[in-house]
Amino acid sequence: MKKVKHLALTLASIMLVGSLAACGGNNNAGNNATKENTGNNAASTNAPATEEASAEPAEKVELSFWTLGNVNYEELANEYTKEHPNVTIKIQNTGDQTAHHNNLTTALSAGSGAPDIFQLEIGFMERFISAQDKFYNLNDLGAKDIQANYLDWKWKQASSIDGSFQLGLPTDIGPTVVYYRTDLAEAAGLPSDPEGFSAAIDTWDKFAAVAKAYKDKTGKYFSDLTDLTYNALRDQSEDEIYFSKADGKFIGDTNPQVKKAYDFTVKGIQEGWISNYLLWSPEWGQGMSDGSFAVVMGPAWMAGNIKSNAPDSSGKWKIAQLPEGAGNWGGSFITLPKEGKHPKEAYDFISWLVNKDNQLESFKTKGLMPSIPALYEDPAFVDFKDDFFGGQQTAVEFGKAANRVKPVYYGPLHDQTDTFFKNALKNVIEKKADPAKEWDDAVKQAKTLAERS
């Protein structure tokens, strides 16, 4: 009797261990449903590319889709699956960019757990574009045919340098503009209509003069913070910013636009018209609402941040063009990791997801700025008026900015390198540090980092 009891106990504990281990395994691979798919669709998975051209998939296909942030892709996916009953799309949304991309890195390096479809933010593009063997080349699936629909610079951000490999299809973009307070502009005797305001600051020298005059007259700051001021000029670089497109070498110290951006921000600090807020801090948001500064230079999606930070200032804001050109900050791409078993079905879906009608829909519901230039003349897009911005046709202004953006190459260490220069500026404004010495330190740090890659 005792023997039996022991045996039962041992067996039970073995089973317990087994099930626990299984749990671990499942959770690991867990976030998506590729496992279920491989069983059911074994036949169709073997030769996905050789199937018939564009007919409905004969068998049920389930696609997992990792989306990032505030997008309307869930609604669009529901619409798509209504028209394509054999396709189901499982969406998993993450708010945290870094976690979102780190999850994919982990899944790709482990060889399992990646979704069929992945939304990739431009800031993380360089990390993945070098790992071409881990993704489907969208050119093989027909992306070449729709390339002409999209902004050229946006398309190229997700292409290999020779253009043969296309990692993702363009979604929204982040062309940079000037958000300004009309009430403060008027009070300081500046033109308050977008055309007039844009014209008053159409070169950076004019911008600085206007800013200094504003400060002298009102005693208040003109620009909100160092980071965004620096970004506005930095993003107007020609072709490359910190790294050379040809050999990936650090060139930040010789790029005249980087130096210009740095010197311009230093000038603003020294003349006292840039205030000392920290980007994304609650005080910064408070400053928008109580008018501590007159302008915020940022991308199209910054409109959402201004609205949520300063709801009480509705109607007082308008949008104007940046001096000397625009830059681009943010925006994503839809990619297909190679672990996915249904590239054709997935491609059919993503090319639909980012088409003209749906990008317009995403703009209307979530404010995502389309990457399809044809829309910028489309009445449905152009006539959209925003009460927060005093009834301004914001789409027109963003469209204008989008057409002024010149493509730049970032390089894998762009973000980290950028931090060194931002920190230098912060030291100048907060610690009254010597700008020249801070510049040299930033360059030195950037070079040390670049040597490691």
Partner 1 sequence: MAEPVITSPHAESKRPFLTEQRRSRITAYTFISPFFILFSIFGLYPIFFTFYLSFFKWDALNPMKFVGFKNYDLVTSDPTFWISFTNTLIMGLMGTVPQVMLALLLAVLLHSGMTKFKKTFRILYFMPNITSIVAVTLVFSTLFGNNGMINWMLNGLGLDSVAFNSGWWGVKIAISTMVMWRWTGYNAILFLSGLQSIPMDLYEAARIDGANRRQQLFSITLPLLKPFIIFVSLQSTIGALQLFTEPYVFLGQAGTGSTRQEGITMVTYLYSEAFRNGFFGTAAATAVMLFLVTILFSILNMLISRGAVGDTGGKKA
Residues within the interface to partner 1 (CB under 8 A): 6, 9-10, 13-14, 16-17, 20-21, 24, 97-98, 102, 105-106, 108-109, 127-128, 130-131, 134, 227, 276-283, 412-413, 415-416, 418-419, 422-423, 426-427, 430-431, 445, 448-449, 452-453
Which CB sits closer to partner 1, 164 or 448?
448
Which CB sits closer to partner 1, 121 or 324?
121
Q: From its phi and psi, is residue 448 left (phi > 0), alpha (psi between -120 and 50) or beta?
A: alpha
CB of 306 to partner 1, least distance (A): 16
Q: Tokens 């003209």 map to which residue? A: 356
CB of 435 to partner 1, least distance (A): 15
Q: Are 72 and 362 in contact (CB under 8 A)?
A: yes
Which CB sits closer to partner 1, 94 or 419?
419
CB of 223 to partner 1, least distance (A): 15
Say which residues have a Cβ less than 8 Å from residue 346's Cβ, sequence separation at least 6: 63, 116, 117, 336, 340
| Type and span of the H or E element at 290 | helix 282-290
Nearest to 67 by CA among 428, 403, 334: 334
Which CB sits closer to partner 1, 23 or 58?
23
CB of 312 to partner 1, least distance (A): 19
Which CB sits closer to partner 1, 199 or 278?
278
Which CB sits closer to partner 1, 273 or 388?
273
| Type and span of the H or E element at 178 | strand 176-181
CB of 281 to partner 1, least distance (A): 6
Task: Tell me what percent of the chain is helix, strand and coil, each rounded to the nearest 5.
Answer: 55, 15, 30
Distances (CA, A) of 340 to 35, 45, 52, 134, 135: 10, 10, 19, 10, 9
Q: From its phi and psi, is residue 330 left (phi > 0), alpha (psi between -120 and 50) or beta?
A: left
CB of 20 to partner 1, least distance (A): 5
Q: Give the CA-trace dihedral at 25, 26, 32, 35, to 10 degrees.
A: 90
> How far is Cα 227 from Cα 277, in angstroms, rounded to an integer?
9
Which CB sits closer to partner 1, 242 or 388?
242
> How far is Cα 294 from Cα 222, in angstroms, rounded to an integer?
5
CB of 429 to partner 1, least distance (A): 9
Which CB sits closer to partner 1, 129 or 300?
129
Distances (CA, A) of 287 to 35, 158, 197, 220, 451: 50, 36, 21, 11, 40
CB of 70 to partner 1, least distance (A): 17
> How far is Cα 21 from Cα 329, in angstroms, rounded to an integer?
44
